Amino acid sequence: MDTLSDPDKADALKQAGTKDAGTNGNLLSVRDLRVSFDLQGQPLEVVKGASFRIRPGTVTALVGESGSGKSVISQCIMGILPKNGSITAGSIAFADPAKDGPVTDIAALLQSSEEMRKIRGGRISIIFQEPMTSLSAVHTIGNQVSEALILHKGVHGREAREQTEAMLKRVGFPDPHRAFDMYPFELSGGLRQRAMIAMALICGPALLIADEPSTALDVTVQAQVLGLLKDLQAEFGMAMLLITHDLGVVSNMADEVVVIYHGEIMEAGPVEDIFRDPQHEYLKALLAAVPHFDMQPGERLVSLRAAGSRPAPAEPAKTPAKTKDSGGAPPILSVQNIVKTFTIKKGSWFGGSEDQSVHAVDDVSFDIARGECLGLVGESGCGKTTVSKIITRAVTPDQGAVLLDSGDGKGQVDLTRLHSAQLKQIRSGIQMIFQDPFGSLNPRMTVLEILREPLAIHGIGDRAAQVTRVTELMKQVGLDPRFASRYPHSFSGGQRQRIGIARALALNPKLIICDEPVSALDVSVQAQILNLLKDLQSELELTYLFISHNLAVVDYMADRIAVMWKGRLVEVAKRSTLFRNPRHPYTQALLDAVPYPDLDRPLDFETIRARFGTETAMWHDVFRPQYEDGTPAQMAFVEVEPDHRVLVRAGAELSEVA
Amino acid sequence: MWGYILRRVAIMIPTLFITSALIFTIIELPPGDYFESYVAELRAMGEKVDEERLQFLREEYGFDQPPIQRYFQWLGGWFVGDFGYSFAYELPVSDVVGDRLFLTILVSFFTIIFTWLIAFPIGIYSATHQYSWGDYGLTFVGLIGLATPNFLLALVMMYLANLWFGTAIGGLMAPEYLDQPMSWAKFMSIMEHIWIPVIVIGTAGTAGMIRRLRANLLDELQKQYVTTARAKGLHPFKTLTKYPLRMSLNFFIADIGSILPQIISGAEIVAIVLSLQTTGPLLIEALQSQDMYLAGSFLMFLAILTVIGVLLSDIALAVLDPRIRLAGGSTK
């Protein structure tokens, strides 16, 4: 372990006396790198003497949380540090296999020097996290991809186009000739990331830096992009520096792992050693903070750092007081056959336009029992957020009913038929927790004002009573009530999410809709928030609708899980059943695509690759919502086992598939 | 594309019709007409007023008719190139305006070029060297330019021009060329005088444009796609001009819509201070003396230019930005 984290020693031992002792066959050696940022005159050291190496043709993963300095290291290697950052010490020795000559010290090169520009994009290239913003919107894909080729290889005109199209084809564009002239906004997120990959690889670099290459993508697309990267890495024989916070991605991709925490390397070594025998406390804690699928009932995530202290619950929360098997008791919420169609104006800005309707939500029905947590899983655009909006009546469905039983003896009320005054009253019983802890809090309101607002709107208590309630709420979510007069910007992401949770709790709701509540948070904070939500659920007897694209998180939280695909529920089952026995091909594809932080359960890239671009083609007929000629099929749920329903063509038997 | 332009042009017709009605109504609103102000002026100077002649003129120009009728007569004239009659100048409106139009366009043209030439390099420098001494210094100068009233600057410039170059104060040409047909000597005289109004009028616009270009470019420079371009190994200057600068030009193109009317109306007060023979002072005089057809037609020119300017900038935006051109999922 020691020798790995200190290339100097290793080199000195093995290669004493050879000419290029600086690299010892390593492609890249980062030695004692220190980087400082100038923040309004105050120097802030973000990388504190980091050392690691990258061997040719291997994948090295650099793992850490946000703010750990992992992206800054990649910027140093690329020579694209922001202006206020500078390398204060250390070296980055790059031994280009294409020229056996001298080793280049990237840290000593001027960022804008010609020598650095030749390495950048030509010999070392990078792909970023956000495929939406990483490409220029006003230049075509072909223009942007071929630019590096023209720049570094001096290839021009038709030849450049041919090579670019070949590269686009290699990264999986179905029609590269057409894609060449398309603009980024005409492509899906997955294809954009493929275009980024094509751009990075077109010059055949010796090292590819992948900075969170799949984090912003849906889980099935992520698996495909990871598979593609692995294939290309082997095909081009290049080395890869994979920067990520996702240990599942690491275990599937990396040969060697470097763990970084607060700018310091904690641990480094082959992936086998790191996962099977973690040495450093930080890495052990990191592994324990990630939800995984083999958790025992009642097992809790261990959060990385002590969270804000909360008063101990009155009763131990070991067995949540759930009433989900209460037989005849009516569900708290019953969604019945809701349909919502959006009309999209399709057509050119100049020519005539035609209206096209899209079924955002198509005949969705489900019940949520009192005290239950129902997980709603699906990929972006599947309509899960629209469902949450319909339940809160932010959107009114075209058809169907949303029956809420507030538990006040009045029985079920159909939310879709209420008028504003009645809605206002009933809405206090349904609250939401949002995804973005930054965007969902008004930056010009103090915490006190944010938490008092729902009370003031509903006219609950006088000012003194409201302030008392705010204090109580802050304690409940583990925030110090003394912070009540602060503004949101002085809180971290996790603390802000706690404020969001406190706001949702203010009106004593019975049902809380959690819309991706942890997907914007770091792994360690994520564990804290998930545990908090679990505790609150049992203490306050809350019912959750938990919406997420992260299957592991849903698995940790939910009692039952509903899988949504293209506006429809395709499979609903108890948590344990769904993961043990997924029947719908979409559920299977979702589960197959989850990268586990477990070396013994690698992703099956063969299957994932075979599924790319096939949509429903590989599905058994009974699951396909359309006949061969494109006419929609009548679909209905069949029960494959108790509490486990799957959507198939009406009249079909699931035994046909078996 | 052609269908779009055609539809846009069609929408312009009702827009302009409503504008013309508004203009006419507002000019009609103050009590009295040109002849009453004229009589008041004569009386003030102690001269006798020929009531009969006044009555004749009123009838001659249709002022005994209801306003609605006069409105349609005025509007109808537009279709045959008759913009009405200026009472103050006792000439058709087209003759009064036409003379000054050339000079106005000349001054405006040079002003715009001046603005762009100065603003672009400075704006780009300021954005790429944010918070440097150069940025602070140029920002300071720009803010002074923005804050100084134009007429004050005009007075200072006139004084300095006379002191240093001995250029005759005021006007766009030496007095002997006034009302002369265009000649090489006259043109040279104009060129000799024109830089003062160009600098005076251009300063505020330049400062404003520097600030906007700097802000827009700074926004764009932060974007991820700029990092992508740098990561390709592109030369810093090429990176700047191909990506962020191109994106930050959208505001600049959108500006074209407001530049066109400015060409005609621009900088009335400066024009009066510098006694320029441009259209600005003409409009103010016409409004003061209730010379209604001159004022009305002038305002209509501005309205038409505004509408055309907006159309041109919209088309240019669509041509330059594929997101606008192809939005809505159409394919090529």
pLDDT tens, residue by residue, B166-201: 766 667 777 777 777 777 888 888 887 888 888 888
Q: How confident is the model at residue A513, as a pLDDT?
A: 94
Residue B12 lies in a domain: no
pLDDT tens, residue by residue, A455-493: 999 988 899 999 999 999 999 898 888 888 889 888 888
Residue A324 confidence (pLDDT) above 70: no
For residue B328, list chain A residues with Cβ-Cβ distance below 8 A. 345-349, 353
| Mean confidence (pLDDT) of chain B | 81
Rounded-to-5 percentages of helix, strand, coil across chain A: 35, 25, 40
Q: Which two tokens stand for residue A243?
A: 């920067």
Residue B14 lies in a domain: no
Mutation to test the B interface, candidates A138, A145, A186, A353, most B Cβ within 10 Å: A138
Q: Which residue has the higher pLDDT, A291 or A160?
A: A160
Residue B76 lies in a domain: no
Least confident stretch, A266-280, A398-412, B218-232 = A398-412
Residue A502 confidence (pLDDT) above 90: yes
pLDDT tens, residue by residue, A122-154: 899 999 888 878 899 889 999 999 998 998 888
Residue B296 lies in a domain: yes
Q: Which of residues 29-88 of A touch B (CB under 8 A)?
A: 78, 80
Share of chain B above pLDDT 70, in %: 94
Of the segments A441-455, A480-494, A578-592, which one has the largest average pLDDT value? Answer: A441-455
Q: How confident is the model at residue A328, as a pLDDT?
A: 59
Residue B121 lies in a domain: yes
Give A179: exposed, middle or buried? Use CB within 10 Å, 0-12, 13-18, 19+: buried
Q: Which residue has the higher pLDDT, A658 or B187?
A: B187
> Is residue A470 a contact partner of residue A446, using CB atoms and an 8 Å limit?
no
Residue B286 lies in a domain: yes
Cα of A115 to nearest chain B Cα, Å? 10
Instruction: Determine which helix (DSSP H) or strand (DSSP E) holds A359, and give its type and residue range.
Output: strand A353-368
Q: How confident is the model at residue B288, as a pLDDT?
A: 79
Q: How confident is the model at residue A10, as a pLDDT?
A: 43
Mutation to test the B interface, candidates A348, A354, A358, most B Cβ within 10 Å: A348
For residue A186, list chain B residues with Cβ-Cβ distance below 8 A. 326, 329, 331
Q: Give the closest residue to A209 by CA, choosing from A127, A92, A116.
A: A127
Mutation to test the A interface, candidates B6, B228, B239, most A Cβ within 10 Å: B228
Residue B329 confidence (pLDDT) above 60: no
Does A631 lie at the interface with B, CB-CB under 8 angstroms?
no
Mean local confidence (pLDDT), A254-281: 89
Q: How confident is the model at residue A229, as a pLDDT?
A: 92
For residue A135, list chain B residues with Cβ-Cβ distance below 8 A. 225, 228
CB contact under 8 A, B332 and A181: yes
**pLDDT band for position A605 (50/70/90)?**
confident
Amino acid at position A548, single letter: S
Q: How confident is the model at residue A630, as a pLDDT?
A: 74
Per the structure, how many domains does chain B have?
A: 1
| Residues 6+ positions from B187 with CB-CB distance below 8 Å | none
| Residues 6+ positions from A559 with CB-CB distance below 8 Å | A322, A324, A372, A373, A374, A574, A575
Q: How confident is the model at residue B167, as a pLDDT?
A: 66
Q: How confident is the model at residue A454, as a pLDDT?
A: 92
| Mean confidence (pLDDT) of chain A | 83
Does A195 lie at the interface with B, CB-CB under 8 angstroms?
no
Q: How confident is the model at residue B267, as a pLDDT?
A: 67
pLDDT tens, residue by residue, A531-574: 999 999 989 989 999 998 888 888 889 999 999 988 889 999 99
**Exposure b/e, A387-397, CB count within 10 A at least 16 = b:** bbbbbbbebeb
Residue A511 confidence (pLDDT) above 70: yes
Q: How confident is the model at residue A635, as a pLDDT?
A: 84
Cα of B243 to nearest chain A Cα, Å? 7
Cα of B182 to nearest chain A Cα, Å? 45
Mutation to test the A interface, candidates B6, B227, B232, B314, most A Cβ within 10 Å: B232
Q: How confident is the model at residue B48, as a pLDDT?
A: 73
Q: How confident is the model at residue A306, as a pLDDT?
A: 57
Instruction: Return the SS3 of B93.
Output: helix
Q: Give the closest residue to A370 by CA, choosing from A506, A533, A511, A539.
A: A511
Beta bridge partners of A418: none
Residue A352 confidence (pLDDT) above 60: no
A544: region left, alpha or beta (phi > 0 left; psi from -120 to 50 alpha): beta
Least confident stretch, A134-148, A204-218, B35-49 = B35-49
pLDDT tens, residue by residue, A36-84: 988 777 888 889 989 999 999 899 999 988 778 888 999 999 988 888 8
CA atoms within 13 Å, Cβ hemisphere of B250: 18
Q: What is the CATH number of the domain that holds B166?
A: 1.10.3720.10
Mean local confidence (pLDDT), A75-98: 87
For the four alpha carbons of A250, A253, A259 and A260, in that order, the dihedral sign comes to negative
Residue A355 confidence (pLDDT) above 80: no
Residue B30 lies in a domain: no
Domain that residue B245 falls in: 93-320
Residue A13 confidence (pLDDT) above 50: no
Give the C-alpha separation, B296 to B191, whole Å. Answer: 32
pLDDT tens, residue by residue, B72-124: 888 888 888 788 778 777 788 888 777 677 777 788 888 888 888 988 899 99
Least confident stretch, A297-301, A411-415, A577-581, B16-20 = A297-301
Give the C-alpha separation, A292 to B9, whole Å. Answer: 62
3-state per-residue secondary structure call for A222-250:
HHHHHHHHHHHHHHHCCEEEEEECCHHHH
For residue A109, list chain B residues with Cβ-Cβ distance below 8 A. none
Give the C-alpha separation, A636 to A623, whole Å. Answer: 10
> Is residue A214 a contact partner of residue A225, using CB atoms and an 8 Å limit?
yes
| Residues 6+ positions from A138 with CB-CB distance below 8 Å | A183, B246, B247, B320, B321, B322, B323
Beta bridge partners of A59: A240
pLDDT tens, residue by residue, B63-73: 777 888 888 88
CB contact under 8 A, A345 and B326: no
Q: How confident is the model at residue A547, as a pLDDT?
A: 92
Q: How confident is the model at residue A19, as a pLDDT?
A: 38
Residue B252 confidence (pLDDT) above 70: yes
Going from the C-alpha of A495 to that of each of A313, A445, A448, A488, A490, the distances in angstroms are 20, 15, 14, 9, 9
Mean local confidence (pLDDT), A156-173: 90
**pLDDT band for position A307 (50/70/90)?**
low
CB contact under 8 A, B233 and A138: no
Residue B119 lies in a domain: yes
CB contact under 8 A, B233 and A353: no
CA atoms within 13 Å, Cβ hemisphere of A564: 31
- B224, B229, B232 ranked by CB distance to A133: nearest: B224
DSSP-assigned states of every residue in A443-482? TTS-HHHHHHHHHHHTT-S-HHHHHHHHHHHHHHTT--GG
> Is residue A54 a contact partner of residue A85, using CB atoms and an 8 Å limit?
no
Q: How confident is the model at residue A308, as a pLDDT?
A: 54
Does A181 lie at the interface with B, CB-CB under 8 angstroms?
yes
Least confident stretch, B234-248, B266-280, B283-297 = B266-280
